[in-house]
Amino acid sequence: MAPKLLVWYDRHARVLPWRILPGGGTPDPYRIWLSEVMLQQTTVAAVKDYFLRFTALWPTVQDLAAAEDAHVMAEWAGLGYYARARNLLACARQVAHAGGFPEDRGGLRALPGIGPYTSAAIAAIAYDQPETVVDGNVERVVSRLFAVETPLPAAKPELTALAETLTPHIRPGDFAQAMMDLGATICTPRSPACGICPLLDDCDARAAGIAADLPRKAPKAAKPDRTGIAWVARHGDSLVLEERPAKGLLGGTLAFPSSGWDGCDLPPPGDADWTEIGHVRHVFTHFNLSLQVLIGDMPNSPERGHLVLLHDIDRNALPGLMRKVWDMARANMAA
C-alpha cells in the first residue's frame, strides 16, 4: 500500500513553496514548521502568500525570534486563529535560544503551538522519522480505506491506530505528504475521484460504494447569534484603534473599540454624537456576530485605545471582522 502511494507521489506531488520534491534535497525545519503552523485549520491556497512574505521578511528562526510582536501580528492579520501567531513567536524565541529545533516528536510536541499533528509532521517531513501524521485529510483517507463507520470525533483514536499500520519505515516523510496530497486532490470530502485513485483496489469504502459518505460525523451544535457595537471614533484627521487583550477572541489584534460581544459591556472610547452607518456580520466557530457600526466626531481625546492618522490605517493589518468595519466607515466618510 505505501509503495504504491509513493510511486503516485513521485509523479503527482503538489509543488508548494515550502516543499522539497522527492529527491530534491534536505528540508529546512524552520520552513517546514512555519508552513505547518500556518496550515493548521487553513487551506494551502490561503497560506501560500503569507508563507512567502514571512520567509522573505524573516528567512531564519533567529530572524523571526528577533521580530517585534506587533509586526508579526500585523503580518498574520487575515489568516485567522491569532493564538497561532502568538505561539509562533514564543516558539521561535524558544527555538532560537536553544540553538535549533528538537529533532524528535516528543521534543517538538513540548513547544508552543505544536500539538499531536504538527509534531508528527515536522518529525516526519523535516527529519524523515517514521511518525504517523494524522490530519483531517488522513482521517478521511483512512476512514475510507478501512470503511470505518464510527462517527468523528469519536473515531479519531481508531483512525490514528489504523493510519499507524500504514506508515512505512522508508520515506515516512514523503508518505505523510502523499497521504495529505491524496486527501486534498483525489480523496476529497464530497466527490472523491475514485476513478483515478492509486489506492482504488485497496479501498473498502469504494468496494462497498460508500466512499463519498465517509467519514461519518456527529451532528453539529447550532451556533447562537450575538450582537455588539463597534465605534468609529473620529478626532481631527485620526481614528481610534486599540489592541485587543492578548488572550481570547481575536487576541492581540488591532481593532476598532467595541462593546463586549460575549457578555461584558465596554463603554465607547469617548463622548460623541454617534450615528449608525450599518451592521457588519461575521461568523466565528461558535457564534454568529452582528456588529452595529457607529461613527462620530469626538471633541476630546479617547478614553480607550489610541489615535491613528486616517492616512496611516493599514487595512491589511486588521483581522477580517475589522476590515469589514473599516470598509464600511471609509465608504461612509467618502460620501
Partner DNA sequence: ATCCCGGTCA
Partner DNA sequence: TGACCGGGAT
Q: Provide the annotated active-site residues.
A: 36
Q: Which is nearer to DNA, 252 or 302 (CB)?
A: 252
Q: Which is nearer to DNA, 230 or 307 (CB)?
A: 230
Residues 6+ apart with CB under 8 A from 113: 37, 83, 84, 87, 88, 90, 91
What amino acid occupies position 242? E
Q: Which is nearer to DNA, 117 or 129 (CB)?
A: 117
Q: Which is nearer to DNA, 232 or 321 (CB)?
A: 321
Binding site for DNA (CB under 7 A): 39-43, 45-46, 77-83, 87, 112-119, 135-137, 139-140, 153, 189-191, 217, 220-221, 248-251, 262, 282-286, 319-321
Nearest to 231 by CA among 194, 274, 188, 287: 274
Q: Please tell me the distance from the alpha carbon of residue 331 to that of residue 335, in angstroms, as a whole number.
A: 6
Nearest to 297 by CA among 273, 320, 281: 273
Provide, rounded to whole angstroms, the least separation between the CB of residue 117 and DNA: 3
Provide, rounded to whole angstroms, the least separation between the CB of residue 270 and DNA: 26
Provide, rounded to whole angstroms, the least separation between the CB of residue 137 and DNA: 6
> H/E element holding 279?
strand 275-283
Q: Which is nearer to DNA, 88 or 272 (CB)?
A: 88
Give how far the C-alpha of residue 289 lies from the chain's centroid of Cα atoms, to the nearest Å: 20
Q: Please tell me the distance from the alpha carbon of residue 18 to that of residue 126, in angstroms, as a whole number.
A: 11
Three-state SS at 84? helix
From the number of C-beta atoms within 10 Å of its C-beta (0-12, 13-18, 19+), residue 116 rates as middle
Residues 6+ apart with CB under 8 A from 62: 96
Q: Which is nearer to DNA, 176 or 307 (CB)?
A: 176
Provide, rounded to whole angstroms, the least separation between the CB of residue 30 and DNA: 16
Query: What are the cell numbers at 273?
Result: 454624537
Q: Which is nearer to DNA, 298 or 328 (CB)?
A: 328
Q: Please tell me the distance from the alpha carbon of residue 41 to that of residue 45, in angstroms, as a whole number.
A: 12
Residues 6+ apart with CB under 8 A from 25: none
E-assigned strand segments in the chain:
225-235, 238-243, 254-255, 275-283, 288-297, 306-309
Q: Please tell me the distance from the alpha carbon of residue 82 to that of residue 242, in angstroms, as a whole number.
A: 16
Provide, rounded to whole angstroms, the least separation between the CB of residue 104 and DNA: 15
What amino acid occupies position 38? M
